[in-house]
Amino acid sequence: MQKIRAAITAVGGYVPEYILNNAELETMMDTTDEWIQTRTGIRERRILKGEGKGSSDMAVAAVNVLLAKKGLDPKDIEMVICATTTPDMQFPATANVICDKTGMTNAWGYDVNAACSGFIFALTIGAQFIETGRHKRVIVVGVDKMSSIMNYEDRKTSIIFGDGGGAVLLEPSEDGDGIIDSVLRTDGSGRVHLHQKAGGSVKPASIETVMNKEHYVYQEGQAVFKFAVKNMADVAAEIMERNNLTADDVHWLVPHQANKRIITATAERMKLPAEKVMMNIEKFGNTTNGTLPLCLWEWEDKLRKGDNIILAAFGGGFTWGSTYIRWAYDGSKA
Ligand code: UT7
């Protein structure tokens, strides 16, 4: 019997309207547009404003784009996996909230927390449910409201992050195109360099943790940078090698958007020219779980059936990974 393969058959995305540009950051902290652009490649990022708005609201907008594009009834969806580091609340899972807000009442689901690699991890998990024949329509979301855990007094960290997210629909492939392979890695010893100090079971929220600003992202930028440059490039090269892909065979690299210099180093390692690299970091910054689906959403109309696409990410944990996809349809923005 031929193996069932999972294919992405539609993409939706959403970024909030509010633009936080480098000039505004200059009024908030001791930084300059020149420093931020040179060190990161970021000009501006989006921020979700409005009381009571969370990651689920951006995910709902992205999912609705996708459902409308495919003309699907929300009740047709069987499963939703949401990759996020900024869930609406500790529990229940944001996936549940998304299902409720969109009317996907026949779906079950849960959240995946793998920081910036979450979308790749969730995509791999979702694909398994299609490959085993268990489900026919699975939605994988990658979304984050990073502004909710950002200390805008910390100029080394806050300048790279933004809000946004996207969603993809997975269905059984008709002809073998789809998600071909994944390499996924974790190294928990890396947690010291990038984490949130309080709010979990080790250090529950208290007046003290709030006063000490321990609910924000703590990042040792240089240490993370070194691991990210090496591991993201290694894993992308590894997936090319084990699938016998040369640089000429690869149509697109979809890299996590944390820092332009990390993206460039990965592309150089893969020997890919800049025009094959999806990059929107200059306008969205690092949306954590949102970066990869947002790239796919923006580039969807340029993607052609049969294109070889490599996804690569690195994030807190540490977590990192790469996925090889043979794209299953001619893209359109409609
Ligand atoms: O998303 C997944 C995980 N995250 C990442 O992959 C992020 C990886 N790390 C990075 O992208 C970079 O480390 C950052 C962009 C976060 C920081 O850039 P950096 O080149 O590593 O800067 P640094 O922290 O080493 O700081 C260099 C200098 C320092 O000054 P001194 O000590 O050399 O005098 C900082 O105080 O730049 C200073 N600096 C700034 N100056 C102006 C740090 N942040 C700023 C700033 N504006 N925003």
Instruction: Kindly name the residue from 22, 113, 231, 286 that is annotated as catalytic.
Output: 286
Asked about 116 being catalytic, the answer comes back as yes
pLDDT score for 174: 83
**Residue 83's domain spans which residues?**
5-177
Quick one: 173 and 233 in the same domain? no
Structural domain total, the chain: 2
The CATH number of the domain holding residue 200 is 3.40.47.10
**46 and 131 housed in the same domain:** yes
Distance CA 111, CA 96 (A): 9
Distance CA 26, CA 45 (A): 14
- Residues in contact with ligand 1 by the CB-under-6-Å rule are 31, 35-36, 39-40, 116, 155-156, 159-160, 221-222, 224-225, 228, 258-259, 262, 286, 314-315
C-alpha of 151 from chain center: 21
Classify 214 as helix, strand or coil: coil
Looking at the structure, tell me whether residues 166 and 205 fall in a common domain.
no
- 116 falls within a domain: yes
Distance CA 329, CA 301 (A): 10
Predicted local distance difference test score (pLDDT) of residue 333 = 55
Of 22, 37, 193, 225, the residue with max ligand 1 atoms within 8 A of its CB, to mutate for a pocket test, comes to 225
Tens place of pLDDT per residue across the chain (334 aa) = 678 999 999 999 999 999 999 999 999 999 999 999 999 999 999 999 999 999 999 999 999 999 999 999 999 999 999 999 999 999 999 999 999 999 999 999 999 999 999 999 999 999 999 999 999 999 999 999 999 999 999 999 999 999 999 999 999 998 999 999 999 999 999 999 999 999 999 999 999 999 999 999 999 999 999 999 999 999 999 999 999 999 999 999 999 999 999 999 999 999 999 999 999 999 999 999 999 999 999 999 999 999 999 999 999 999 999 999 999 999 875 5
Question: Is residue 171 located within the same domain as residue 188?
Answer: no
Residues found in the chain: 334
Which atom of ligand 1 is nearest the CA belonging to 224? 8
| 224 Cβ contact partners less than 8 Å away, ≥ 6 residues apart | 193, 194, 316
Report yes or no on 270 lying in a domain: yes
8 A C-beta contact, residue 56 and residue 159:
no
Residue 291 domain flag? no
Same domain flag for 108 and 154: yes
Are 3 and 131 in contact by the 8 Å Cβ rule? The answer is yes
Residue 332: the pLDDT is: 75
Read out DSSP for 262-327?
A: HHHHHHHHTT--GGGB---HHHH-B-GGGHHHHHHHHHGGG--TT-EEEEEEEETTTEEEEEEEE-
Q: Which of 177, 193, 216 is the C-terminal boundary of a domain?
A: 177
Cβ neighbours for 255, distance < 8 A, ≥ 6 positions apart: 232, 236, 262, 263, 266, 267, 277, 278, 279, 311, 312, 313
Residue 257 lies in a domain: yes
Identify whether residues 173 and 187 lie together within a single domain. Answer: no
Co-location of 28 and 171 in the same domain: yes
Tell me whether strands 108-112 and 308-315 are parallel, antiparallel or unpaired: unpaired
| Residue 1: predicted pLDDT | 61
- Same-domain pairing of 125 and 23: yes
Pocket test for ligand 1, best of 40, 149, 156 (most atoms within 8 A of CB): 156
DSSP H helices in the chain: 22-28, 33-40, 55-70, 94-102, 118-131, 207-211, 221-242, 260-269, 281-284, 291-299
State the distance between the two ends of the chain, measured CA to CA, in whole angstroms. 36
The residue among 153, 177, 201 that closes a domain is: 177
Residue 292 belongs to a domain: no
In a domain, 75, yes or no: yes
Instruction: Please name the residue whose Cα sits nearest to atom 11 of ligand 1.
Output: 259
pTM assigned to the model: 0.97
